Structure 1
Amino acid sequence: MTYLDTAAQFYAEAAETPQVGLCCISTPPLQFPDLRIPQIMQEMNYGCGTTIHPTELTGAPTVLYIGVGGGLEALQFAYFCRRSGAVIAVDPVAEMRNAASRNLQVAAQENPWFKLDFVKILEGNAFSLPIPDASVDVVAQNCLFNIFEAADLDQALAEAYRVLKPNGRLIMSDPIATRPIPIHLQADERLRAMCLSGAMTYDQYTQHLVKAGFGQVEVRAKRPYRLLDAHSFNLEQPLLLESLDTVSYKVAIAQDGACIFTGKTAIYHGQQEFLDDRAGHILFRGNPLAVCDKTANKLSLQFPQEVIITDSTWHYNGGGCC
């Protein structure tokens, strides 16, 4: 049995018997006007963060959701994309597909605006999506890709890239590790299925996104997720896992590298009214300008006495330039 088989068995059990505390369900799901989330969906909120970012869902996009879970985020996506077939949910576990279908029927009874045909649930997996090339505006996954080993993660990201339209968005929420996870924990298939031992570091995680071809990555949130204590996990010292929400865009990678936004700003404080770095960035004196990490580094090296670079907030919501 491979780690993927173990994960499938684990989530088949979780579909039949909701496991409160399996992931970070102590954090309540996002609430929106006229959206009622059935209690069963809240109990099956098997995710570490959220992929629901309203600014990415304007214009009723077509959304592909990988790993339907209890149907919570499929319902939330449908809230923004109210048309037949707007949300396509793919899951390899029959028990989870069945549970999500039942939960969505409950949601239809509690939400007059929601129609069951807004969400289409398909059998499939992240490595071979049953979707044509360049056919969806958004691909999303919550707390699934982190269980993959490196080669499988690359294949899943390549599939997401394939089915996205140009300028489409990959919205993800996964645990990351504040330092490399020891091999003995990575090899524990059940811990990996529980989203506790497969997490990569932030640098490794973002490098895989860029390797897949995504030219712009935006970090929407980074927050504590779980602590692996030294006693229970045979560690020399506790290891903190964090929840990372990102939006990656299917745009070309610039010659000088991808743009990764983590909430940094550049502030010019020289004698002139503005600073032109001759690379497409104009900084007006005293006004913070959101910049990607690559540009922040270049400005700090080029104008060390005239530009202040603020720390990453890890909560970037658009604006600025790279």
Structure 2
Amino acid sequence: MSQTLTNDPQSDATGYDVEQAVRQRYEQGAKQAEASLCCPTTYESDYLAQLPAEIIEKDYGCGDPTRYVRQGETVVDLGSGAGKHCYILAQKVGATGQVIGVDFNDEMLALSRKYIDEMAGKLGYGNVAFVKGKIQDLQLNLERVQAWLANHPITTVEDLAALEAECTRLRQEHPLIVDNSVDVVVSNCVLNLVRPRDKQQLFQEIYRVLKPGGRAVISDIVCDEAVTPTILNDPQLWSGCIAGAFREEGFLEMFEQAGFYGMEILVRQEQPWQVIDGIEFRSMTVRAFKGKEGDGWERDQAVIYKGPWKAVQDDHGHTLYRGQRMAVGDKTFKIYTNPQGAYAQDILPILPNQDIPLDIAQPFDCSRTEIRHPRETKGLDYHATIKPDGGACCSS
């Protein structure tokens, strides 16, 4: 294994400018369709029918995260390219929703913006905007930076310091995407194009902009082994979504390290898209949730894990034993039972007989036994006797 690299997100091992290689390749892709930039993906035809042909043929990706959004949501598309996903999302979230595409390639931005009015006319509402920024720095509006540079050209070291100060000010006073403002962040085959040293910041930015309870749905290229130095140092393989591919397990770990929970592989391409030097590269779509922060409060709630596994452990470190009443705090109870969340399909909620208002609830004791006795939820003084009324016990 000494001849392979782990594509560590904290380091760059390339002998060229990754961003420049990606920008040039996608500038060409905006001018002329390039089939090799993407792997075959099936989209819902009803939504594609509304889109201009130019957008469809010049959009590149490896999956369809648009399937996992709902009406009325605010969605950010990282690396929005020609705008195909944004215009599909516009139809899904409807007039009460909002879609923001983020890209830093001027050619792609021009192409996607070209059809804003036409699509608004078709749909009967306009809910899409395309903004210029790097997906690993969603605070900095690059069009504001360009406007400032037009009046403040860089000719000295002092000018460079002034630019850095202006970027800091823009991030603080005019962030491109504000904190906790987005229901869903989607991306399609773009995260792998970010420089290795910026990847950790990228996941932190996705986390920052999501609302508590929000989610990321990301389609990207992953590999089953670490890429070799030969692959890593090939600009064409970088811009072609190969050299920057995540290791399969590392992709999920990046979400976990950023603070997400409930990571789930929604789609994994069975056959590899490409195989290079014996390393398999394929598309994978992952969903992850934000919102496990905060204090836990004791409200005598419990949950039962339905199975089929004998026991499972969540991203908080809680172990759930099949069929057992597990004691949980209010925050965890809400996470487990949220019908739009990661766990509800596997959980049976047990509510207390007497509700404990949150404003008088005590902190949940994490050191207590994991099993909650039925008397805790029913109450120690619960001695009711309820007899059948003569009707059938069960109905079909």
Which bin holds the TM-score, normalised by the shorter protein? 0.7 to 0.9
**What is the CA distance between 1:118 and its match in structure 2?**
1.4
Q: Deviations over 1:112-166 (max 9, x none)?
A: 3254x31111111112211111111111111110122443111111111111111
Distance of 1:106 and 1:290 partners within structure 2:
55
Which has the larger Rg?
Answer: 2
Match of 2:358? none
Preserved CA contact (<8 Å) 1:40 1:103: no
RMSD in angstroms over aligned alpha carbons?
3.4
Match of 1:11 among 4, 8, 26: 26
Distance of 1:20 and 1:290 partners within structure 2:
46
Q: Deviations over 1:80-133 (max 9, x none)?
A: 122377111111111100011224455456xx3254x31111111112211111
> What does 1:162-177 align with in structure 2 at a 5 Å threshold?
162-177=208-223
Distance of 2:116 and 2:78 partners within structure 1:
16
Match of 2:254? 208
**Which amino acid in 2 is paired with 1:190?**
Q
Match of 2:304? 281
Distance 1:114 1:128, change over 3 A: farther
Match of 1:39 among 30, 53, 66: 53
**Which amino acid in 2 is paired with 1:44?**
K
Preserved CA contact (<8 Å) 1:38 1:106: no
Preserved CA contact (<8 Å) 2:79 2:101: yes
Q: Deviations over 1:55-88 (max 9, x none)?
A: x324x11111111111110011101122377111
For normalisation by structure 1, the TM-score amounts to 0.74
Count of matched residue positions in the alignment of Structure 1 and Structure 2:
271
Q: Does 1:251 align with 2:291?
A: yes
Q: Deviations over 1:16-73 (max 9, x none)?
A: 112123211x33322236952322222123001111124x324x11111111111110
Preserved CA contact (<8 Å) 1:136 1:164: yes
Distance of 2:241 and 2:186 partners within structure 1:
17
**What is the CA distance between 1:10 and its match in structure 2?**
1.2
SS in 1 for 2:346: coil
> What does 1:85-234 align with in structure 2 at a 5 Å threshold?
86-105=98-117, 107-108=119-120, 112-115=122-125, 117-129=126-138, 130-223=176-269, 224-229=271-276
SS in 1 for 2:253: helix
Preserved CA contact (<8 Å) 2:232 2:243: yes
Distance 1:34 1:226, change over 3 A: closer
Question: Identity over aligned residues, as a percent?
Answer: 25
**Which amino acid in 2 is paired with 1:164?**
L
Distance of 1:53 and 1:249 partners within structure 2:
16
SS in 2 for 1:122: strand
Match of 1:320 among 337, 346, 351: 346
Unaligned runs of 5+ in 1: 230-234, 255-278, 302-315
Unaligned runs of 5+ in 2: 1-15, 139-175, 295-301, 323-341, 349-396
Q: Deviations over 1:203-252 (max 9, x none)?
A: 111111100110221211001351224xxxxx2xx322121111111122
Preserved CA contact (<8 Å) 2:19 2:195: no
Distance of 1:135 and 1:158 partners within structure 2:
15
SS in 2 for 1:4: helix
Moved more, 162-171 or 178-187: 178-187
Distance 1:106 1:154, change over 3 A: same
**Which amino acid in 1 is paired with 2:304?**
H
Match of 1:265? none
Distance 1:101 1:162, change over 3 A: same
